[in-house]
Amino acid sequence: MAGKVTFCAFVLVLLSTLAAAISPSARSSTVARRAALENGLGRTPQMGWNSWNHFHRNINEEIIRQIADAMVDTGLAKLGYEYINIDDYGAAYDRDSQLSKWQHNHICRGNLAANASTFPSGVTALADYVHGKGLKLGIYSDAGTRTCGKLMPGSLGYEDQDVKTFASWGIDYLKYDNCNNQGISPQPRYDAMSKALLNSGRNIFFSLCEWGVDDPATWAGGVGNSWRTTGDIKDTWASMTAIADKNDKWASYAGPGGWNDPDMLEVGNGGMTTEEYRSHFSLWALMKAPLLIGCDIHSMSNETKEILSNRNVIAVNQDGLGVQGHKVQQDGEQEVWACPLTGGRFAVVLWNRGSAQASITASWWSIGLNASTVVDAHDLGQMRLYQPCKENWRKQWILMLARCMC
């Protein structure tokens, strides 16, 4: 059959056609959404940076300032990356010495405080610096008695008090973890923080980090703006692909205002090849996952910057239709993932997960197109237009893909 080409194992393609060519089933899937959290945030998946994947506990205010500078200087901020998020180990071991008002039938010990050795200027000054760059500052806490690192207090039982502190600091984003939770069901713990955030007088993006323990996709739509569906990602191809498979199960629950979160990006951290990182970024974009950079953008390579700066791949992630891409076709180790976009377009991933060269046939019916549709196809990684062949481009689309680790 004519028109077969050899590519790497993974390619993200944009198909453009007339809206009338979309099958009724594809249209109906775009409106099967649940009620979202009414805070006006997360209408598209959040974009930004988080400290954990690269720096872990080794963070300080100078690093955060450098990251904010780099976000602007590299042009990433103009592409939509706006949140600078401090993960675990940013606060002092104990609350401050002041006692607060009665709350939840007990008197609360003092407020959360910044770690004086690593954030000597305080969080408010850091927020002012980040905001001055046109960016937003995120912080971390835990729906337990202490955070996962056990060197910071958690917010369980202190939700209203801690949210007032976050608001006074100028915080724009909260990642809320699930350690040391006293065996209490996740839903009431996360719901308490959600209500506190809504009553704070400040719009704060709420990112639930419940690890998918209690299937948050089924209940967190009215609680948070995103929810983790998996455990922590590792900087390996095996971990990344396994997490993508787990996240795929919950595709129908995502939409504007609330997104499935398969964890942060590992692009640029060194554990995968350039092509694997390109695949990682493209798959997260298709899945409408949060695009939270996890590397040191202050010293990233040109290859990493090129991947993270691909406007066309970012546009798939930020498309206003807000439909998560998912696996629509599988033949052994050859897969097709797809999602509809605005303007009668579709994003399609052809993925050869085997070790040998294979032909992947993307059938129109599985993508959501009428059988007679003719499309224009653009490779969003290489930004080239595939030349249509009448034999191949009606009813199905065929490419030859070779598994490669280049």
Q: Which residue in the block uniquely carries the two structure tokens 């994947």?
A: 53
> Is 232 considered catalytic here?
yes
State how far the Cα of 271 lies from the Cα of 79, in Å rounded to an integer.
25
Banded pLDDT at 4 (limits 50, 70, 90): very low
pLDDT band at 106 (very low <50, low <70, confident <90, very high): very low
State the pLDDT at residue 27.
Answer: 42
| Strand runs labelled E in 358-395 | 358-363, 376-379, 384-386
* Amino acid letter, residue 192: A
Place of tokens 């129908």: 252
Domains of the chain in sequence order: 47-318 (3.20.20.70), 326-404 (2.60.40.1180)
DSSP code of 273?
A: -
How does DSSP assign 238-255, residue by residue?
HHHHHHHHHHHTTGGG-B
Q: Cβ contacts of residue 62 below 8 Å, gap of 6+? A: none
Of 69, 128, 214, 232, which one is the catalytic site residue?
A: 232
Interacting residues of 392 by C-beta distance below 8 A, sequence separation 6+:
1, 2, 3, 398
Please compute the mean of the pLDDT values over residues 9-22 and round it to a whole number: 70
pLDDT of 391: 37
**Would you state the pLDDT for residue 379?**
86
pLDDT attached to residue 98: 58
Instruction: Please report, as a single letter, which amino acid is at residue 220.
Output: A
pLDDT at 398: 53
Q: Are strands 106-107 and 102-103 parallel, antiparallel or unpaired?
A: antiparallel
Q: CA 227 to CA 406: how far, in whole Å?
A: 33
Q: Does 170 have pLDDT greater than 60?
A: yes
Which is nearest to 229 in space by CA: 220, 216, 219, 242?
216
Higher pLDDT, 101 or 323: 323
Is there a contact between 339 and 380 (Cβ–Cβ < 8 Å)?
Answer: no
The vertex-59 CA angle with 56 and 63, nearest 5°, equals: 125
Give CA angle at 283 (277, 288), nearest 5°. Answer: 130
Global pTM? 0.90
Residue-wise pLDDT for 303-355, tens only, equals 999 999 999 999 999 999 999 999 999 999 999 999 999 999 999 999 988 88
> How far is it, in rounded angstroms, from Cα 82 to Cα 48?
5
- The continuous run of DSSP H or E covering 308 comes out as helix 302-308
Q: How many residues does the chain have?
A: 406
Contact 209, 179 (CB under 8 A): no
| Displacement of CA 165 from its chain's centroid (Å) | 26
**Which residue in 177, 248, 261, 263 is the catalytic one?**
177
Angle 261-283-187 (CA atoms, 0-180°, nearest 5)? 15
What value, to the nearest 5°, has the Cα angle with vertex 158 and ends 155 and 160? 115
Higher pLDDT, 402 or 90: 90
Element (H, E) at 221: none
Label residue 320 exposed, middle or buried (CB < 10 Å: 0-12, 13-18, 19+).
exposed
Query: Is the model's pLDDT at 52 over the cut of 90?
Result: yes
Q: Is the pLDDT of residue 240 over 50?
A: yes
What per-residue confidence (pLDDT) applies to 33?
A: 53
pLDDT tens-digit map of 178-202: 999 999 999 999 999 999 999 999 9
Band of the pLDDT at 14, cuts 50, 70, 90?
Answer: confident
Name the band, by pLDDT with cuts 50, 70 and 90, for residue 6.
very low
Question: Of the given ranges (7-11, 30-34, 57-61, 215-219), which has the lowest mean pLDDT?
Answer: 30-34
CB atoms within 10 A of CB 162: 25
Residue 38: how many other CB atoms lie within 10 Å: 9
40: left (phi over 0), alpha (psi -120 to 50) or beta: left
- Rounded to 10 degrees, what is the CA torsion of 160, 165, 168, 170? -100
By percentage, how much of the chain surpasses pLDDT 90?
Answer: 73
> How, if at all, do strands 10-16 and 376-379 pair?
antiparallel
